[in-house]
Amino acid sequence: MTVRTLYFDESGYTGYNLLDSAQPVFAISSADISNDAAEAILRESFPSYRGVEFKFSNIWRTNARSGLLTFARHLEPFADTAFTYMIDKRFGVLTKIVDFLIEPLVTNGGYDFYADGFCWKYCNYIHYGLTEFAPPELLDRLLTIYQDFSRNPTPQTLAVLQSQLRLIAQSLEEPVQIFIGQMADGAEAFEHFTDLETFKSSNELHTTSMVAIISHWRQRHSEDFAVVHDASSTFLRQRRMWKNITSPNVPEQIHRGGDGSETPFPLRVVSTEAADSKDHFAIQFCDVLAGLCVKHFGSSANDPDRAFLDEVIQAGLGTLSYNGIRPSTIFPDQIPPRPLSGPDVVDQLAMLIRDSERRRS
């Protein structure tokens, strides 16, 4: 079996501060591209660049920025061999609220919260309700109080989360009251479903994104994958989880994702290497691509750079594939979701990780 080498790099990481207004989007770009091809594209696109390596942050701040149009014109042939996963951080925090506060109650009630992409659709539904039918500051308040708890989960911060969510719910009217009421109920029942002492921060982005990206590649290709990522980044902070999920010893199965997609397991990752980006033009290619995507998805219609970014999209950036976590207007087909008939996707993944950990031990 041939091995397909995939290169990765990120942009927009601000640690566990997911409400950083200066950097609202996080992205990881991946590409099946040789170092020679990447070098040729980068040197032709930025002929006057004098940095030690091609970095989007440096390119954007200098006269080399105009070369991003040339870079984008090279992208069309990579429509099927480059893929970016991006996260709107604010919406990402909202999905965590739904995952940790609402989902346990719904699942405990006998419903499959993740079937047919219900969780993602319900997050869209809540986001739409909060932005269209509630005071503009409400969403900001919800995200802030959950972040305060998730970054420092203690009995004291949990008590604050519980009281504030209940007060907010009592101050609202339909249609948004039901959403906040569900969050308040979930916060009050939090320790029934989750051990607070072992609760890990729900602000991790890298491993979730990497699994989503490799799932994208696995859905489309049957080869083994060699993963090469930038050693200077904080990729795979949860490396042990990554190794368990990508273990070649995982039994053959179809895993259904939270968005309703299906991925064959094992994921066929045969190696994961942290490499110095200065030695790999393919990683630098992904750095520029990820930076462009963060700029594009993080800018508003009245951003002074919007016109230039639209040119970049037209030049070729728009031909590439991407996915991720950001709000849309795709809502649930039915509420409540369909009845639970066995382990849901989260339980299936948890069992996969436990079995893999047991085999490793």
How confident is the model at residue 267, as a pLDDT? Answer: 95
In this predicted model, which residue has the larger pLDDT, 184 or 255?
A: 184
- For residue 357, pLDDT over 70 is answered with no
DSSP state of 205: -
Could you tell me the residue range of the domain that residue 216 belongs to?
Answer: 1-33+82-277+325-361
312 within some domain? no
| The pLDDT of residue 233 is above 70 | no
Which position has the higher pLDDT, 5 or 237? 5
Contact 176, 142 (CB under 8 A): no
Average pLDDT, integer, range 196-221? 88
Confidence bin at 346 (pLDDT 50/70/90)? low
Confidence of residue 251 (pLDDT cuts 50, 70, 90): confident
In a domain, 11, yes or no: yes
| Predicted confidence (pLDDT) per residue in 79-119, tens digit | 999 999 999 999 999 999 999 999 999 999 999 998 888 99
What is the count of structural domains for the chain? 1
**Average of pLDDT values for 208-230?**
94
Please name which of 119, 58, 130, 187 lies closest in space to residue 345, comparing C-alpha atoms. 119
What is the rounded distance in angstroms from the CA atom of residue 97 to the CA atom of residue 90? 11
**What is the token pair recorded at 194?**
């989750």
Spatial distance between the Cα atoms of 344 and 351, rounded to a whole number of angstroms = 11
Q: What pLDDT score was predicted for residue 241?
A: 85
Q: Sorting pLDDT into bands at 50, 70 and 90, what band is 198?
A: confident
Mean pLDDT of the chain: 91
Question: Does a structural domain hold residue 76?
Answer: no
At 12-71, the pLDDT tens digits run: 998 888 999 889 999 999 999 999 999 999 999 999 998 899 999 999 999 899 999 999
Q: What is the pLDDT of residue 359?
A: 66
More confident residue, 232 or 321: 321
- Whole-angstrom distance, CA of residue 182 vs CA of residue 146: 14
* 111 is a domain residue: yes
pLDDT band at 361 (very low <50, low <70, confident <90, very high): low
**Has residue 286 been placed in a domain?**
no
Structure token digits, residue 16: 């566990």
- 306 falls within a domain: no
312-321 pLDDT, tens digit each = 999 999 999 9
Q: Is the residue at 233 inside a domain?
A: yes
Does 356 reside within a domain? Answer: yes
Average pLDDT, stretch 183-192?
Answer: 97
